[in-house]
Amino acid sequence: MGRSLSVNLFARVVSILVLVAVAFAFSSAVLPSSSFGLSDLSPEEQIMLELINEYRASYGLQPLTLSPVLMTVADWMARDMADNDYFSHTDSRGLGPFERMDHLGYAYNTWRAENLAAASENAQILLEYLQRSPGHNENLLRPEFSVIGIASAYNPHSYYGWYWALEFGGYMDDEYAREPIATFEIKAGWNGITHLGSSAAAEDVLASIAGKYVIVYHWDEDAQEWLSFSPHAPLVLSTLRQLETSKQYWIYASEEGTLLLYE
């Protein structure tokens, strides 16, 4: 496919491996960060980071470091594709890659890109296919990039099984991120919280514990009913679309995490 308005979109199926790449320079406001690091990568994800940086070094390019926000974006996207059994830059909420980056906190005036891959867990195999694809290879070797988010997710009942998201950017968000106004230590099981941050979409408020919570409930006094949101269910089935300031919510988490709330 060709170029339009500086957007490079390339899709290709090689054997059973599926790859999609997109890149774009975008301007917007800076939004809050989340917390991810090297320890959050699986062994194969760590190998992917090492292989990408070795590949860039062979062309005299700077290595990519992990961006906490882009790690959140990649983790959310990989899980969303696996949980909802689809493979596309348009996620289950109908958002494209740059809208998704904006919503999850990476909205800098810089080069940004997304590579998606599916059908393999092996980082070496994936990188070889990425290198053979002009669109993906362009993103891997773009000199403007300095940070990356990497995530993979597996669903044995999905069409491709394994889903990967690689998110690229030109700014390290830690240098510019806002400080959270409140934090909650979330334990496995039920957690009651009062939302102290700004009103926003449920998945955006809960981005710092993406992949660690199963469902969130709120009792609507006016309607006299429970409203709910689950990242594992299609958005059309969610009755709780936004978490509002100063209201109480019940979160069921599958593992421990730290919830960061922002103005």
Angle between helices 43-57 and 123-132 (to 10 degrees): 40
Q: Which of 186 and 8 is assigned the larger pLDDT? A: 186
Q: Is the pLDDT of residue 238 over 90?
A: no
Give the model confidence (pLDDT) of 177-207 as tens digits: 567 888 899 999 999 999 998 888 887 888 8
Give the model confidence (pLDDT) of 152-168 as tens digits: 999 999 999 999 999 99
| Residue 241 pLDDT level (bands cut at 50, 70, 90) | confident
Residues in the chain: 263
Look at residue 32 in the predicted model and tell me its pLDDT.
Answer: 34
Predicted structure pTM score:
0.63
Give the model confidence (pLDDT) of 102-112 as tens digits: 888 888 888 99
